[in-house]
Amino acid sequence: MNKHRPIGFFDSGLGGISILRETFARLPGEDYLYFGDSLNAPYGVRSVEEVTTLTCDAVDKLVEQGCKAIVLACNTATAAAADLLRKRYPEIPIIGTEPALEPAVQRHPGGRILVLATAMTLKEQKFLDLWEQYRHEAEIVPIPCSGLMEFVEQGILRGEELESFLMEKLMPYMKVSVDAVVLGCTHYPFLRGVIRRLVGRSPEILDSAEGVARHLHKRLLQTSLLNDRENGGTVTFQNSLDGPEILELSKKLLQYEEDAE
């Protein structure tokens, strides 16, 4: 395998760009090929079989295009298809994404931790195992947020409609104090500003981007696939939705600066 080949990124839509941003900042000499399946999004309300098929088809295409490693920049796709893809492509590092529960529990032992994710992520075995592992160390409160990723897909990152949607989801859980909020869907970091306003100043808000970027870096080193260029990497976006708008929005999200917290 040639270390000058691109790294493939996959998400059900544009959420994985939150992981790509962090990865590009850490590994700016790599080339990236990002495929978002916005046409078939949301994945979080589909069956496991459907998500597995869609994810495997998308990853097959990234591998056909010569990707040396794959990042499943989607918690839902990881829960459904990571194990299968690792068997299908044993020679290619396949990096998955999972809710950042481990760092949340480490930083807030005994705390109350909200986990925002898709309905599917929260139902799947990967999350149930994580929950089982940490449930004695903190109070873990899963909150399925069906309907939330659609705002990001439309480029809506603030505003009244989004705030009242989120308010309805979060307020029932805010009566007792919260120590941390885990963003267990890769779309949600783009909504961090709104989420911060609703949960107040004190809870820590954690996402998976840094953990995934670090893990990818480590795997590239271990497999001698790290590009030796220090800078000058490129990002190419592909999407199952036709039309230039979705690619424009993808580029905008890559440049997105979070609202000051």
- Residue with Cβ nearer ligand DGL (185 or 225): 185
* By CB under 6 A, residue 149 contacts ligand DGL: yes
Q: Does 69 bind ligand DGL (CB under 6 A)?
A: no
Work out whether 93 is an interface residue with ligand DGL (CB under 6 A): no
> Is the Cβ–Cβ distance between 121 and 76 less than 8 Å?
yes
Which has the closest alpha carbon to 206: 135, 124, 261? 261
Window 183 to 212, contacts with ligand DGL (CB under 6 A): 185-187
Query: 244-254 and 17-26 are packed helices; what angle lies between their axes, rounded to 10 degrees?
Result: 50
10 Å CB burial of residue 23 (0-12, 13-18, 19+) is: buried
CA-to-CA dists, residue 108 to 105, 112, 122, 143, 241, angstroms: 5, 8, 21, 18, 41
By CB under 6 A, name the one of 42, 96, 111, 144 that touches ligand DGL.
Answer: 42
H/E stretch holding 195 reads helix 192-199
Nearest distance in Å: CB 188, ligand DGL: 8
For the bound state, the minimum distance from the C-beta of residue 168 to ligand DGL, rounded and expressed in Å, comes to 18
Cβ proximity to ligand DGL: between 16 and 111 the closer is 16
- 145 among known catalytic residues: no
Cα distances (angstroms) measured from residue 215 to each of 157, 206, 209:
28, 16, 10
Q: Does 74 bind ligand DGL (CB under 6 A)?
A: yes
CB 104 within 8 A of CB 79: no
76 Cβ neighbours under 8 A, 6+ residues apart: 12, 43, 44, 51, 118, 120, 121, 185
Say whether 185 is catalytic.
yes
> Counting contacts by CB under 6 A, is residue 44 touching ligand DGL?
yes
| Cβ nearer to ligand DGL, comparing 42 with 211 | 42
In the complex with ligand DGL, the residue whose CB is nearer, 74 or 178, is 74
Please, what sign has the CA dihedral across residues 50, 56, 57, 58?
A: positive
Nearer to ligand DGL, 30 or 98 (CB): 98
Instruction: Tell which one of 7, 41, 92, 130 touches ligand DGL (CB under 6 A).
Output: 41
If one asks whether residue 153 binds ligand DGL (CB under 6 A), the answer comes out as no
Buried b / exposed e over 116-141, threshold 16 CB at 10 Å, is bbbbbbbebebbeebeeebeeebebe
Establish if 55 lies at the interface with ligand DGL (CB under 6 A).
no
Q: Is 169 in the site for ligand DGL (CB under 6 A)?
A: no
Using the rule CB under 6 A, give the single segment among 24-32, 53-61, 180-188, 225-233 that binds ligand DGL: 180-188
Q: Which residue minimizes CB distance to ligand DGL?
A: 44
- Residues in the site for ligand DGL, rule: CB under 6 A? 11-13, 15, 41-44, 74-76, 118, 121, 149, 185-187
